[in-house]
A = this chain, B = another copy of it.
Amino acid sequence: MGKLYVIGIGPGGFPHMTIRAMDAIKESDIIVGYNKYIDMIKPLLAGKEIFSTGMKGEEERCKKALELSHDKIVSVVSTGDSGIYGMAGLILQLRMDEEIEVIPGVTASSAAASVLGAPLMHDNCNISLSDLMTPYELIQNRVNLAAEGDFVISLYNPKSKGRPHYLRECINIIKMHRDGTTPIAVVKNALRDGQEVSISTLDTFDDNIADMLSIVIIGNSQSYVKDGKFITPRGYNV
């Protein structure tokens, strides 16, 4: 009998992978994933069969992984948390009767936040700006409501060539609700090679800094920067 692990490897560097994720990869016969993620865990893969595809091959990867898991131990890997914009959803949508274990990881907004200080200490939301499967009007509406509700906002997939203006437009929506001095940060490659951090304010923000691999975090009305650290206090003065 086989088994399928759906694994979030965290930000990408080994240290921030969970022990359970590492053990499951070691136990697996076959590893399935996007080329770039497979490269991140190469030292664990000696002697294993690898099935990797380009970025667009998600559904193909999931079907293959499910099929292979009928008689082998298979791991599907993605960065961050497998359950937040990861592969867990598609795997479970396509599942027939395969045995599946979802292994969570440190999601990208947590990784970015740890590098910045403590921006996510109060109510917060994750919004993806990718419109591949979500109407842009719905994304804009969510950004607007999150800003109105004073949530700390983490933007995933903030930019791609096909939609270069979305980030700017969404920041402009947020500015309708939040002070121009509110901290905003861009973190590229958090906790892995190539890490880059930029902290500015809504008024001075340059959206050209962000790319597809970045996470953008916008503070709530209480957030501030102290000694280079982006901090959202635990509460409001009540």
Contact = CB atoms under 8 A, between A and B. Distances in A.
A176 interface: no
Given A88-B117, A150-B142, A15 B23 contact: yes
Chain A binding surface SS class: mixed
A229 B150 contact: no
A102 B83 contact: no
A235 B132 contact: yes
Interface residues of A, number: 73
Contacts of A238: 131, 133-135
Nearest to A123: B127
Copies in the complex: 2
A120 interface: yes
A92 B115 CA distance: 12
Contacts of A89: 118, 121, 231-234
B123 A142 contact: yes
A74 to B, nearest CB: 17
Nearest to A128: B123
A114 B104 contact: yes
A107 B106 CA distance: 7
Interface of A: 8, 10, 14-20, 22-23, 81-86, 88-93, 95, 102-107, 110-111, 113-115, 117-128, 131-135, 138-139, 141-142, 145-146, 148-151, 191, 226-227, 229, 231-236, 238
7 contacts: A81-B120, A88-B121, A89-B118, A93-B231, A95-B227, A138-B150, A142-B151
